[in-house]
Amino acid sequence: CGANVYMADFEDATTPSWDNLIEGQANLSDAVRRNIAFDDPETGRHYTLNDKTAVLFVRPRGWHLPEKHVLVDGEPMSGALFDFGLFFFHNAKELVARGTGPYFYLPKIESHLEARLWNDVFLDAQASLGLPKGTVRATVLIETIMAAFEMDEILWELRDHSAGLNCGRWDYIYSFIKKFAEDPDCVMPDRGQVAMTTHFLRSYSLLLIKTCHHREIHAMGGMAAQIPIRDDPAANEAAMEKVRADKEREAGDGHDGTWVAHPGLVAIAKEIFDREMPQPNQIARKRQDVHVTAADLLVVPRGTITEAGLRQDLNVGIGYIEAWLRGTGCVPLYQLMEDAATAEISRAQVWQWIRHGARLEDGRTIGAGLAGAILDEELAKLREAAGDEAYCAGRYEDAANLFRELIEAPTFPEFLTLPAYEIITAGVG
């Protein structure tokens, strides 16, 4: 038995090139009408939909991203409205006729006012097609530190359309770094040391469950980024054990469901949630024992900064951006499925470490010089791993130059995808 829900992602797991966006919309239209099929030229395998399919959710881009290929009054339109509008216009009535509906995941929300804007969009879109209010259902990703303080208000704004809240863990870590980037007391340790069991992340997760269940809606757990490791049974078992521990924590805390990045993890997640949650959800668990304060949400995790951690941030950051610039927004790197959120963490950490002269555990100060030298070394490793032909055909130099600009910028750049988008759309508009 497969997953209950499939999320088609136009956001962090997609490079928003014109071809990707239009092909993605065409594929969704075909999938809604059950006309989609795929023949893999490498394996010869033929893929079609099962008789019973997962419920489709769509994640449009966040409010900050433009769509340069469509101009409104001479200005690029909102990427979020482009993604939502195309899908809703072409598929909403068909979905309703088939007994389901237009369902969405809303990313990067920072306040109840942004949720209100989405609600206004839903009301107008439904009216334009003659669909009743409440046809649209949306789950909001709580993946910014600001939104964590406004969960009740966000749910109120979307009260006629809300399907629940979700712990967007990777972007949440990035948002924390971004919001407090200038504060020397908020310097994060190695990315690998910032787990969901750290105080500020566990507090936010429990608060989300309590808030949702008080409002009688679903509280969804976070994404497990691990992927199966086919050629190393021991490493694979260690990775799968991390997934089990993560999902057992979520189910035990009271989450009503969870996400995985790879279909190979579905069985593990389902087995745990089916065992711990035999009923459809855990909304009856109100978690009145949870008492999370503002201070709990702002506890900075303590740990060490290692050369290995710095190298990982630089290597993963360049590797991900290189693939993104080539048109691939979801990239398996070192046994994890990376998307824009994890790349954002990588470059944000390095910027913060340079900004505040953070020290490695061996005592060396992280400055632009040290980071730049290690960046060059990691770029050389990527070239060796890829081979000269693939390296030269790829976007490694562009990715390294962009990453260097981001970590050496005098002020913290809001999103890496904004300058990256300018690169892939150079000459458009």
Tell me the pLDDT tens digit for each residue of 88-103: 999 999 999 999 999 9
Inform me whether the pLDDT recorded for 15 exceeds 70.
yes
Final residue of a domain: which of 297, 317, 333?
297
Residue range 2-26: average pLDDT? 97
pTM given for the model: 0.96
CB 69, CB 19: distance < 8 Å: no
Final residue of a domain: which of 267, 297, 327?
297
What is the 8-class DSSP label of residue 107? -
Final residue of a domain: which of 253, 278, 297?
297
Domain extent at residue 318: 307-423
Annotated catalytic residue within 326, 339, 355, 395: 339
What is the CATH number for 411?
Answer: 1.20.1220.12
Mean pLDDT score across all residues of the chain: 97
Amino acid at 101: G
Annotated catalytic residue within 59, 137, 169, 191: 59
Q: Which two tokens mark 8?
A: 């088609």
Inform me whether the pLDDT recorded for 383 exceeds 80.
yes
Q: Which two tokens mark 425?
A: 């759309």
CB 412, CB 181: distance < 8 Å: yes
Inform me whether the pLDDT recorded for 34 exceeds 70.
yes
pLDDT tens per residue across span 303-351: 999 999 999 999 999 999 999 999 999 999 999 999 999 899 999 999 9
Domain membership of residue 241 (yes or no) is yes
State the total domains in the chain.
2
What is the CATH number for 77?
Answer: 3.20.20.360
Q: Which residues pair with 226 in a beta bridge?
A: 336
Residue range 269-282: average pLDDT? 98
CB 406, CB 420: distance < 8 Å: no
- Residue 268 sits in the same domain as residue 351: no
83 noted as active-site residue? no
- Residue 230 sits in the same domain as residue 128: yes
d(CA 19, CA 14): 11
- Residue 292 sits in the same domain as residue 326: no
- The per-residue pLDDT for 1 is 62
Neighbours of 392 (CB within 10 A): 11
d(CA 347, CA 407): 6
- From the number of C-beta atoms within 10 Å of its C-beta (0-12, 13-18, 19+), residue 116 rates as middle
Domain membership of residue 302 (yes or no) is no
Inform me whether the pLDDT recorded for 428 exceeds 90.
no
- Residue 257 sits in the same domain as residue 124: yes
Domain membership of residue 429 (yes or no) is no
Amino acid at 20: N
364 noted as active-site residue? no
Residue for token pair 């079609």? 48
CB under 8 Å to 225, separation ≥6 — which residues?
Answer: 170, 261, 336, 337, 338, 342
User: pLDDT > 70: what percent of the chain?
Assistant: 100
What does DSSP say about strands 218-224 and 162-167: parallel, antiparallel, or unpaired? parallel
Inform me whether the pLDDT recorded for 289 exceeds 80.
yes
Q: Is 193 helix (H, G, I), strand (E, B) or coil?
A: helix
Q: Tell me the pLDDT band of 429, cut-offs 50, 70 and 90.
A: low
Distances (CA, A) of 106 to 94, 211, 212, 386, 407: 22, 18, 16, 36, 28
pLDDT tens per residue across span 167-207: 999 999 999 999 999 999 999 999 999 999 999 999 999 99
